[in-house]
Structures are given as C-alpha cells and as structure tokens.
Structure 1
Amino acid sequence: MNIIKTSIDRPIAVIAAVLMTVLLGWLALQTIPIQLTPDVNRPVITINTAWAGAAPAEVEREITNRQEEVLKGINGLASIVSSSRRNSARVTLEFEVGTNMDRALLLVANRLDRVSGYPEEVDEPTLSLAGAEDNAIAWFYVTRVKGNERPIHEYGQFMKDVVQERFERVPGVSEVTVYGGADPELQIIVEPATLASYGITVTEMVQALRRANAALSAGDVDEGKRRYVVRTDAELNTVEAIKSVVLRTEHNQATGRVGRVTVADVAEVKFDYKDPTSLIRQQGNSAIAFNAKRETGANVIETMEGIRAALKELNDGVIPQAGLKLQQVYDETDYISSAVNLVRQNIWYGGSLAAVLLLIFLRSWRATLIVSIAIPVSVIGSFVAMAALGRSLNVISLAGLAFAVGMVVDAAIVVLENIYRHREKGVSAARAAYDGTRQVWGAVFVSALTTVMVFIPILVMELEVGQLFRDIAVAISVSVMLSLLVSVTVLPALASGLLSRQKQKPGGGYSRLFLPGIDHFASGFVALVVGYARLMQKSRVMALLVVIIVSVATSATAYQWLPKLEYLPTGNRNLLFGWLVPPPGYNLETMTKIAGRFEKATQPLWASETGPESKPGEPPKMERFFFVAFAGGTLIGAAAQDPQRASELVGPLNSIVAQDPDMLGGVGQYSLFGRGFGGSRRIDLDITGPELAPIYDVAAKAAGQVFGAFPREEGNRLRPLPALSLGEPELRVTPNRSLLADAGVSTLELGQSIDAFNDGLRVTEVTIGNSRIDLMLKGKANQVTQTQGIEALPVVTRQGQIVPVSSLAKVVLTAGPTQIRHKERLRTVTLQITPNDAIPLETALDKVRTQVMEE
C-alpha cells in the first residue's frame, strides 16, 4: 500500500485521522498524572525497630548487629546502611536495579523472623518500601487560638486520631506524619517509702503488673446448637483495673484473715502525657506540624484538591471546636503550576516563532499553515503514547515537548520545500505533492530514526538517571515519529489541496513579496555557500585541510569552554531548609534557646513584623519562618514573600548560622530533584572502621580540612552524621556485685529502680479504647535535677529498706555516642558536604579528593 498516494487521494480520511488524534490526545491529557518531577523508583526497604529507653550502644548490640547478620546475604542486596540511636534502630537495604521488590520484601521478612532473643521492651520490626526521604507535597501547622492555654504538645493524640486520619483518607495521599505532639500515657506514681513499708521492690511491682495484663483465648465450648468462645479477659485498660492489681497476698494462719496489697495502696494512677521530644515554633507561636506525601503515580493536582477539601472540612468543624487553628504553609502545586505554565508558555512562543519564521522565508500563508499543523498534531498526539506508557506530565516531560516543537517541523519543512520546488516547475499540485514527498521521505525517515535512536539507551536504562529522563525521551521520540507520519500523510494531502488554489506566474513559479535586508542576506549567503562548495570540489587537499582545521578548532574550543559537570539544577522552589548540629549532649531546653536566638535574629525579615516590602539592596521579606528543636539538633525553614527571590534568603540565613561557631550545618534552598536537605548537590564523605574513637578522631580532622576547602563564610555547609566527637555526656552506673548481694538486690532490680525513679520505667503497652498507650512506673517528678542526683536515687530492698544507689554502685560521668551508624556493617561517620551554588559539583569533588582525602 502506497501511504503517500492514499493520503492524497483521500484527504477527508486524513483530516478525520488528524481530528481523531487530537481528540484522543486531549482525552489522554485528562488522565495523565500531573506532578512536579517524574517518579524515581528506588529499590529500598527500610526496617524500623523501637526500643524505648535504650542507649545507642545497647540498640546496636541487641538489635542492629543481629538484624544485619541475618540480612547480609540476601540476593540482590547492593548496600546496607543502619543507624542505632536512642530508642530506635533503623536499617536501610538498597537492592540492585531491577530487583523484584515484592520478592525482596518477603525475603527480608523471612530473614528477620530468624532473629530471636530481643529484650522484652523491643517492639516488632516494621518494614516499609517508602523511603523517609520522599518529599512531601504539602506542609501544615496547627497553633492555639487566643485564650487557649493548654500545652500544644498535648494535642498529639488528637492530631493522630482526627487530623492525620482525615488527611490519609484523601485519594492519592500515602502517608501523613505529625511532628511536635506528645503521646498520652498511663502513669503509676509511687513513693519509695510506701513501697518499703510493704517490702515490695520495683521489680516485683513491674512483674505483678505484667502478669496481670492478659487477654487470652481458651478455646470454645459446644452446647446444644451453639458454640461459645472462651476468653480470659484481664487487660489493664482502665485506671480502676490497674489500681485493683494485687501486688502481695499474705495469710494469717492464726486468724484466717487474708491481707492484700494492691496498686492503689502504694501508688497513684493517672493519665498524663509524655515529655515532648521536640518543640516547633511558627513565627513565635508554639505549633504542631505535619506533612502529606503522595502515592506513587498519583496526580498531584487532584490530590491537592482533596487535601484542600479536607483542610476546609476540618477548619469548619473540629479544629475551631478544639481551640486550634490549622493552616497550610507549603503547597507543591504552586511550584508545579508556575513550572507547567512556564513550559506551556514556552511551547506557545516556540510554535509561534517557528510559524513566523516559516512565513518570512516561505512568503506563503498556505505553506506556513501546512507546516504549522505538524506542531499541534505531533505534540497533542504524543499525549496518547505518554498515557499508554504510564508517564506523567511534569517539568521533564514538558521540557521534552518544548524541545520537540522546534524538531517536529524539520521533516515537514523538508517535505514541503520539495513539494514547493516541483510546484514551481509547473507540475500539478497533486503530482507535486506525490513526487515531492516520495523523493525525500527516505531521508526524512532516517533523520527521524537517528533522533529516536539517541534516546534508546535512556528508554531502557533502569538507573535513577534513566528513570528521571525517560519522560523527556518518550516525549521527543513520540513527537518526532508522529511528525514523520504527518509529513508523509497530512502534508501531501493538504498541499495537493491548498497549493492548487495558489496562483502561479506565467511559465510557472510563484511571485513572492520582496523583503529588503532579509532577501539580500539570503542571496549573499546562498552565493557564499555555493562558492565554498565549488572550491571544495576543485581541491581535495583544501577540503581535507578545512576538515582538519574545523575539527581541531571545535574540539579545542569545546574542551576549553566545556562547563564543569553538575548533576541536576536546584531549581527555584520557594522553600528553604537548614539543619543545625550542636555539640553532642545539648538537651531540648538548650536547643530551644538556640533556636529562639536564631528566631530573634531573623525577626526583622518577617513580613508580619516589618511589612511585606523590602528596601532596595535588602533581601526579600519572609512570608513564613519556623524551627523545630530536637535534643540533637534544630531544623529551620523559611519561605520568601516574593517566590522569585527565595534564593536571596540563603546568604542572610547562613550568615546568622555562622555567628555561632559551635553549630554546624547551614541553610539551603530545597532542591527540585534531590532528596533530603543536601539535595542533589550533596557529597558524602564516609569514615569507616571497627572502633568509634579512631573514627571520630579522623572525622574531626577531615572536618577541619573540609572547612579549609569550603569556608562556611562563603555559604558552604557541612553536616556530620552523627557527630564529630564522642561527646554526649553519659552517667554510667557500675554495680558492685558484693554490695548488691549483701543488700539482697539483683542487678535487674537496681537498673529498674534507677529507671523508674529517674525517667520512668515502661511496664507494658495497654489498650485504651482504640489506642495503644504505654503504662509507666514513675517516681515523683523532678527527683533528679543534677548529675549527682543519680547517686541519691532510692532502691527498695526486699527487706523493706531504702538504700541510695551510691551504696550499691559506682556512678561515673563519661561520654558516649549520640548515634552509631553502619555502612556495610562497619561503624561509620559521614560528612555531608554541600558546596555553595557558585562551586560546580565537579570542582567540589576535585577539591574533596585533593584538599581533604589526600591530605
């Protein structure tokens, strides 16, 4: 079948096909997910294990090492990284590209089942395929309304039960994480003297409570037509149930009377809240923050509409009733909309400029119309292929379509120019359309095929870069191939009809409007090219010499002016983040004071305080500013009043950070493509070894070299993970076994007594309503306000005596790690280096090798 001839003979069918293509493309556009960047599937499984009250060294010994031992030999495992910190362990497994993650998840779960002998307080490990570094599409904060004096952290459970649950029901939302709240707990407050009067130790009380908390199935009983399930239900799910637990029973043989000691006799039981582990302030107001992450492949625009509906529903109901105010502080669709509109605008401008240039050089509105049709048909038709291949509409795919606007007219111009040449010879329009297209379609086909071939490696590449740029490859390849099809079908069909109506001069040819300047330049250029071609044909030596000169000159110029390599641009997102790392051992109160000083220093830049307009030469005002203070660091964030000037806030904020020489880290603009605070421009320098002390020594020296190569004053940032020294203060209690034996106290009883009267001992987890909360055994509040207070903590013996810790053990002030990281099962300190935007990533890597690693 001759497709060219068929298209000329049946122009109505061609027009119908064009209209159908445009219609299908428009329908496909409605179904394609819209998001900021393409989905990049990382073959990563994360394992989280909680152990309340455990130190990093204990977590490493009892959890991390055991899990790494059974996980090390899994098929397809590329790397294993772990973090042991206070209260939790986290193991991250990265697999080779192309690994079946469903099978890998099953293998990991089976391997974890081999780990036995966890301490009783350790929770079951949880597995997740969603990385913790996945970017959120929306951030919110909750503050108290005026007159509400209730501490903001006490709304933590309300946030989880009401707000988090509502947002997680929004289609397209995969996860909502709440920060700044505190969980409720049931507290048993005991006095050592009361316990001693009954001769009950802390350990005996804990064991009695754990034995009393039971809910067991005991089979079933058949009677008549019915089957009855038998259950032993003795859960401690109310205050009264806990108070009624019997700790000791004694029988008087002489009188026959029975004496019982219950929890109510020795303790007070009440509901309260855990101490907050973080503090969030939004422009001077205490707050709770939470974010929303989207499901892979979800349409961000549609998901955000659902989020806004949920936000309105909550603000119209339960939020004001609770005395709270809920506001959205970050919306990714703002950036998506601006980026999409910009690329869409570029597509319109590019198409219009291409049409104008065609009109200038062809001087025929008919010919220009014929070629210009190739642009919308090819671009809109490509949406069908993108939807069929499961691609999304994002800044990468839209950039591909913008590039394609100029490329899709190439084949059309070649075909139409040849048709036009035949028509100027006096050939009929139909014959000119057929001969002109037939003569060049092979060259056009090869030209389009070579363009597509360039993108084949990207289309089949499974690495992150392949997944990231696959959308641009699909957009350009499909558009170019569609433009080829348009050139050999639509163009000859339209040319045979439109060009037949164009009047020719006597003897053939068309009269053209003369354009001074342009036509003179064109004539001179043609004469130059023709003369040059004739010269090259006359002398082969001259032709070879020109080839050598041009090749050498272009190669030398490219080598000299080739820009330094970068991975990906940061973008201009109106969101700045910074992570400040203090010296080890700083508590939450100290970090809150440091963050408060930072807050005060930035206050002149707040639009709410000094107005939205900034003076000439000054940085833009901040629309929002917040900080999150943890015991081990502070997270700060800001957004500019003018989104286009957000990057101008980086310098002033880093200048404020540099005023405190003890604080490491800095502020940077949130990367468009990268994950985590360093974004795509972060360099990780790992120092590994078997022992912590030498690792930290080398890390401290390397950090000094880094600061020499990348001065903080120039906006460079360094974040050590976990720290640069074993400086976290630690009170180490070493029992004297002889003294313990003399007092009739076991090591377990000593440790549990210290835990209970210092910070609170977790007895078990109980069910209250639909929630699981901790049951804690505690002494009176604020018993220990100084390090020496540990020595004076009471230990109740079985004989009813109260002895201080100092009489049973030695208390020594020492230092321990804030966190223990492993890479490939070796202890590791990682220096995360983020150079300023003026330093290309290639240059930064060279400086790290020459000025840090080699020295």
Structure 2
Amino acid sequence: MFSKFFIERPRFAVVIAIIMALAGLVSVFTMPIGMYPEIAPPEIRVSTVYVGASAETVAKNVGIPLEKNINGIENMLYMSSSSYNSGAYQLSIAFETGTDPDLDQVKVQNRVQQALSSLPSEVQTYGVTVERRSSDILAFLQVTSPKGTYDSNYLNNYVENNIKIALSRAYGVGEVNIMGSATSMRVWIDADKVAALNIPVTAIKAAITSQNVQPSLGSIGSAPGDGKQVLVYSLETQGRLNDPKDFENIIVRTAEEGGLVRLKDIARVELGSEDYLMDSMVNGQPAVSIMINKSSGANSLNAMKAVRAELAKLERFYPEDLEVKIFKDTTEFISASIEEVFFTLFLTFLLVVLVCYVFLQDWRATLVPSIAIPVSILATFAMMKALGFNLNILTLFGLVLAIGLVVDDAIVVVERTLALMQAEKLNAKEAAIKAMSQVSSAVVATTLVLLAIFVPIAFMGGITGKIYQQFAITIAFAVGFSAVNALTLSPALSATFLRPFEQKETGFLGWFNRFIQGATNKYLVAVGYIGRKISVIVFMLLILFALNAFFIKITPTSFLPDEDQGIIMVNVQLPEGASNVRTKAVNDKILEAIKDHPAIESVMTMEGFSIMAGQGENVGFAVISLKNWAERKGADMYSTNVLRNLMA
C-alpha cells in the first residue's frame, strides 16, 4: 500500500513536506504582485515626428509605409494609429495574450527597419522609436514652483533632462510620459517685413540650418607633417547655438552693397516650447504632470518602491523652489487589497483550525490538519511561481477557498484513524495503516471530482479565460497537494501523534457534543421522511431552480467588480476642430463641480492629451485623487458618489 511506506518512514514524509513548504516560501517572496492577472495583450508602440507636417501629410507619408510593412506580423491581433497636426505619429500594435513582449518588440523593430527607406528624410533624421507599452499606471507626479520662480518651460525642460531619465531606468518602469513639451528655440516671423523684403520662409529655414551646425575643424600638428611637430592641438568652435541672441544674429541675406538682413530684423526669437499643445494644472495651479507606466511582468509594489527611491536620490539636486510630489500612487490600493486578502487567508486558517478542534476535541488530532493546510498552500505558491502567475486578488481568493477544501482530506484520515483506535483498540500505527486502506480510494476520488470542476475553467478562451485561469489552476494545485499530503504526511503524522482519548462530557465541548447528537438525530428523522416523499423532493428542486433563474436574471453583471480604488480618471473629448480654449473650459467645469466635495484630496487636469484619445487640442484628461479610505466614512464619500456629483 502506498501510504504504508510513509507511515513506516515518517521522517521521509516530513522531509517531503518541508521541501514543499520551503519551495513555497521562497516563491511567495519573489512573485510579482498585481491587482489582477496580466490580461491585457502585449502592446508595442512605434512613434516618430515629421516636423512641420499636418496630420494628413503624416498619415500619408509616414503612417502608410509603416503600417504596410508591419501589417500581418506574427501573432498580431490589431493595430491602431494616430497622426497629429504637431507632426507626431503613433502606432500601437497589440499581440495575442501570452506572447513574449520582448520577441514582439524585435519583430516590430525588424519591420520598421524595412520601411525606414520609404519615410521622408526629416523622419529618418529624427528617428523612429519602437518600445514596449503597458497600460498599467504606477503613479502620477506633479512638478511645481511654489513661489513662481520658474515658468512652465523651465520645469518641462528640467523634467525632460533630469527626472525622466532617472525614472526611466528604475526597476519596473516601462514608460514615463511628461504632460508638457520640451524646450525649443522659437522663431516668430514678422509676415509684413519678410513680404516687404521678399524673403521666403524657405530661405530663413536654410539660413538657420546652415549657420547652426557643429563643424569638424580637424587639428594642428597631426600627421602628415614635417616631422618636427611634438604637440597636437584639436580645433574646436562654439558649435550649435543655444542662446536667443546668437540666433538673432544669424545672417539671412546679404546685399551687393554690403547690407545685411539678420534674423532679428524680420523675426522675434525666444526660448519657448516645442509646441503649445499640452498644458496641465493641479488644483487650478500651473504644474508639469508626469505619468509613470509599469513594464509588463514587473512587481507593481517593488516598481513603486524603486520610483520613490529614485525620487529621494534626485531630491538633493533640485534647484531651490522646485518641488516634485507624488500626486497619486495607484499601488496603494493594490497593497491595501493584498493585505486584506492575506489577513483573510490567515483568519480563515485560524477558523478552520478552531472548527477542527471543536469537532475532533484533541490537540494532537487537530495538529495533523493544521500542518497539512500550510504545507498544501505553500506548495501551491511554488507551482504558481513556476507557471509565471502573480500574486493578485483572484489567486489569493482561490487560496482562501482552497483552505476549506484542503483540510477535508486530512480530517478524513484523522477521523478514521481515531475511530479505529477507539472501536478496535488498535495502536496509532496499526489504525493509520488500516484507515488508509479504507479511505485512500475515497481521497483520490474526491480530489479527481474537484479537479474535474476547476481544471476545465483553465481552458476558457479570451480575456475572461485569462482572468479565471489563474484562479482555477491555483485551486486545482492546492487540492492536488492536499491529496498528496493526505496520502503521505497526514497518515505519518497520525501514526506518530495520535493517542486514544475520551470525548468530553462536561463544559462547552460536552454541551456541543450533545447539541450535535440531537441535531443529527433530527436530521436523520427528516431525511427518512423526505426520502419517502419523492414528490416533495421534486417540488423543492423545481422551486430552487426557479429561484436560481429569477435571481440570475435580476442580478447585475459586469466584467470585473466596481471598486473604490481611490482615484477617478475622466476623459474629455470635444468635436474635431475644437480649440484648446474650449477643452480648458470643460476641465474648469469639472474642477468647479467637485472642488468642494469632502472626499476629494486634489485634482489634476490636462489639456491636449488623453490616455484614451491621444493628443489634440480637442482632448483633455482629469485625474481626481480621493482621500485615504480611512478618512472617507459613509456611502456619500465613495467614488461612485463623487462621479454622481460630476455627472449632475
């Protein structure tokens, strides 16, 4: 008999259990943590800029060549592109769930290289970026100058050249988006003057391009020479211009009489933004907003810790009156949810152990299922790690349910062993061997029945199947390890620990025994009566089926449950052609509608950008950060109530 081997060698069974538990302990501290399983299909983004081109020109000369080459790539689900009047172009390619995003990126990069020669020279000079994209937002940051020392141009430039670079290399950060524009030298041409002087814009552009270069002047004293030079001097020039005054002195035209037309004579030169499409504010005050996205497969909590650590390093380098704050940390909800589930898992374990003790009424007998539960659960963590699962609400919820399932097998073994010890006066070892000969087939059969319920769920297709796959497989492995423990560890522990004992006749346990016996007697009488009334059973079943159908019909349905995550994101999209002024007016109305709500901590508004609609003067975005859950008591403080005020 299989179990007899372990009963006679309890140390071997214990060693197997220890190995299973240690593997689980190592796995649980190294697994990624997230709210839900990775259900979003891997996405690769291709982006570039065709400076000065309209959206139509960008779509025709940049979009079509790229999309023709990328279309039909292996495992591609769909692709969508956006072209903007600023000259920007973005193409998002979604791949089948489960594919390797690194390999997908390489495939897209190869197709882009094939199309590169078909793109305009300006685009080739700017370059085409291919990067992995994740829709999971880690945090929103705000950069401000509280005393107004720095304008938005300075803040944008500082963030672009310092903060973005540092955050991009932090662990788990996939993308850092700045809701603003980089600093650029702006040349505002006086149309009347250039018309009077008959100077075309192309001539101005050519003058700026030819005089704003980094020439290579060579060196003095390098070979070949006269053989007497002992030192070599490299020649350097000022290089590219970086001051408005230098640009103002660029010569646009020279006359035969010696007259010069400089850029300052026909234009105004200033250091401004590359474009004025985007603008952001926090609580109505100017600010630079930063959105940080998580890389695919990264641990959300560890990634946010890395971001905080990087910001702490940067803080000592900030100029005076420059402040960087975390506007909203989205991992706070994940952390709180995971902590709640872990607490529930621990509480469930304690309740199961308590119930086992109340019914078994012997600490030795209770010890066997109490050991079997954590061993089965920890071994399940090891398999979750091996299969690439992450710790999320669904997998942990599966483990909570599994605790009630994994304890059954151990209880069956212990209860049967105790019954044989009392009825046949056998010692623990003999009783365990005989008990396993009687219940082993029942344990295996029960496990197979449970596996037959949960394993098919793992083969469901689509995003729904991806969500519940981890839930089902987690329970299946927990039940499987429970059966293994019931056939190896539980009989070995029963043969080692169990001793004969008498059930309590007094106190709480004595009262409990009498109550259970009375309830059992009444139950047997009821079953005997109903068993003789088949029509009653059929009638009750019909009523239950009817009630089930009724409640299924009236119960609301949703893809995922609505939860108060402490943040509300609002997308603003006006008709095509709407100006930035109209978009800002809508954002101002949003701020006005909710600014006095007691549940709101702060509001970030953006014009010219939306995570749903991309870029454009007719789109905007608002992020509403709610106070901590501990500060929001009562139904009127929930996020749904804030939304109701916003929609009113």
Change (3 A) 1:218 1:485: farther
Change (3 A) 1:473 1:525: same
> What's the counterpart of residue 139 of structure 2?
138
Q: Secondary structure at the match of 2:596?
A: helix
Q: CA deviation at 1:195?
A: 4.0
Q: Distance in 1 between matches of 2:330 and 2:590?
A: 27
* Contact 2:566–2:639 (CA under 8 A) maintained in structure 1: no
> What's the counterpart of residue 611 of structure 2?
none
State the one-letter code of the partner of 2:393. Answer: V
Kindly indicate whether residue 574 of structure 2 is the aligned counterpart of residue 576 of structure 1: no
Change (3 A) 1:245 1:420: same
State the one-letter code of the partner of 1:114. Answer: A
Change (3 A) 1:89 1:152: closer
Alignment of structure 1 residues 506-525 onto 2, 5 Å: 513-515=510-512, 516-525=514-523
CA RMSD in angstroms comes to 3.7
Kindly indicate whether residue 47 of structure 2 is the aligned counterpart of residue 61 of structure 1: no
Q: Secondary structure at the match of 1:517?
A: helix
Change (3 A) 1:456 1:213: farther
Kindly indicate whether residue 620 of structure 2 is the aligned counterpart of residue 628 of structure 1: no
Kindly indicate whether residue 626 of structure 2 is the aligned counterpart of residue 640 of structure 1: yes
* Contact 1:97–1:462 (CA under 8 A) maintained in structure 2: no
> What's the counterpart of residue 293 of structure 1?
293
Q: CA deviation at 1:214?
A: 5.4
* Contact 2:530–2:537 (CA under 8 A) maintained in structure 1: no
> What's the counterpart of residue 595 of structure 1?
587
Change (3 A) 1:102 1:312: closer
Q: Distance in 1 between matches of 2:310 and 2:254?
A: 55
Q: CA deviation at 1:435?
A: 1.3
State the one-letter code of the partner of 1:350. Answer: T
Deviations 1:323-352 (A, max 9, x none): 122221222332122212211222122222
Change (3 A) 1:94 1:341: closer
Alignment of structure 1 residues 92-103 onto 2, 5 Å: 92-97=92-97
Deviations 1:739-779 (A, max 9, x none): xxxxxxxxxxxxxxxxxxxxxxxxxxxxxxxxxxxxxxxxx
State the one-letter code of the partner of 2:92. Answer: T
State the one-letter code of the partner of 1:357. Answer: V
Change (3 A) 1:383 1:168: same
Q: Secondary structure at the match of 2:377?
A: helix
Q: Distance in 2 between matches of 1:395 and 1:40?
A: 13
Alignment of structure 1 residues 214-613 onto 2, 5 Å: 223=224, 236-239=240-243, 242=247, 245-248=250-253, 263=263, 267=267, 269-274=269-274, 276-315=276-315, 317-319=316-318, 321-426=319-424, 427-459=426-458, 463-499=462-498, 501-503=499-501, 513-515=510-512, 516-529=514-527, 535=532, 552-562=542-552, 563=555, 565-605=557-597, 607=598
| Structure 1 unmatched ranges of 5 or more | 253-257, 506-511, 536-541, 608-620, 659-855
Pick from 631, 635, 640: which aligns with 1:650?
640
Q: Secondary structure at the match of 2:29?
A: helix
> What's the counterpart of residue 152 of structure 2?
152
Q: Secondary structure at the match of 1:637?
A: strand
Alignment of structure 1 residues 811-830 onto 2, 5 Å: none
Change (3 A) 1:470 1:217: farther
Alignment of structure 1 residues 44-83 onto 2, 5 Å: 44-83=43-82
Q: Distance in 2 between matches of 1:217 and 1:163?
A: 32
* Contact 1:576–1:650 (CA under 8 A) maintained in structure 2: no
Q: Distance in 1 between matches of 2:494 and 2:73?
A: 64
Q: Secondary structure at the match of 2:90?
A: strand
Q: Distance in 2 between matches of 1:75 and 1:18?
A: 44
State the one-letter code of the partner of 1:289. Answer: S
Q: Distance in 2 between matches of 1:91 and 1:382?
A: 40
Change (3 A) 1:486 1:98: closer
* Contact 2:215–2:239 (CA under 8 A) maintained in structure 1: no
Change (3 A) 1:646 1:636: farther
Q: Distance in 1 between matches of 2:104 and 2:429?
A: 62
Q: Distance in 2 between matches of 1:649 and 1:34?
A: 24
* Contact 1:216–1:231 (CA under 8 A) maintained in structure 2: no
Change (3 A) 1:32 1:78: closer
> What's the counterpart of residue 769 of structure 1?
none
State the one-letter code of the partner of 1:339. Answer: S
Change (3 A) 1:567 1:238: closer
Q: Secondary structure at the match of 1:114?
A: helix
State the one-letter code of the partner of 2:592. Answer: K
* Contact 1:215–1:231 (CA under 8 A) maintained in structure 2: no
Q: Secondary structure at the match of 2:561?
A: coil
Provide the TM-score with structure 1 as the length reference.
Answer: 0.64
Q: Distance in 2 between matches of 1:77 and 1:25?
A: 36
State the one-letter code of the partner of 1:482. Answer: F
Kindly indicate whether residue 107 of structure 2 is the aligned counterpart of residue 129 of structure 1: no
Q: CA deviation at 1:291?
A: 2.5
* Contact 2:6–2:491 (CA under 8 A) maintained in structure 1: yes
> What's the counterpart of residue 612 of structure 2?
none
State the one-letter code of the partner of 2:172. Answer: G
Q: Distance in 2 between matches of 1:433 and 1:531?
A: 37
State the one-letter code of the partner of 2:333. Answer: Y
* Contact 1:213–1:234 (CA under 8 A) maintained in structure 2: no
* Contact 2:211–2:250 (CA under 8 A) maintained in structure 1: yes
* Contact 2:31–2:390 (CA under 8 A) maintained in structure 1: yes
Q: CA deviation at 1:425?
A: 1.9
* Contact 2:34–2:391 (CA under 8 A) maintained in structure 1: yes
* Contact 2:418–2:500 (CA under 8 A) maintained in structure 1: no
Q: Distance in 1 between matches of 2:92 and 2:104?
A: 13
* Contact 1:574–1:646 (CA under 8 A) maintained in structure 2: no
Q: CA deviation at 1:190?
A: 4.3
Deviations 1:288-314 (A, max 9, x none): 211222222322332222222233333
Relative to total residues, which structure has the larger strand share, 1 or 2? 1
Q: CA deviation at 1:275?
A: 5.5
Q: Distance in 1 between matches of 2:195 and 2:83?
A: 38
Q: CA deviation at 1:144?
A: 2.0
* Contact 1:4–1:434 (CA under 8 A) maintained in structure 2: yes
> What's the counterpart of residue 506 of structure 2?
none
Q: Distance in 2 between matches of 1:247 and 1:153?
A: 28
Relative to total residues, which structure has the larger helix share, 1 or 2? 2
* Contact 2:144–2:155 (CA under 8 A) maintained in structure 1: no
State the one-letter code of the partner of 2:417. Answer: I
State the one-letter code of the partner of 1:64. Answer: G
| Structure 2 unmatched ranges of 5 or more | 504-508, 609-616
> What's the counterpart of residue 784 of structure 1?
none
Deviations 1:698-735 (A, max 9, x none): xxxxxxxxxxxxxxxxxxxxxxxxxxxxxxxxxxxxxx
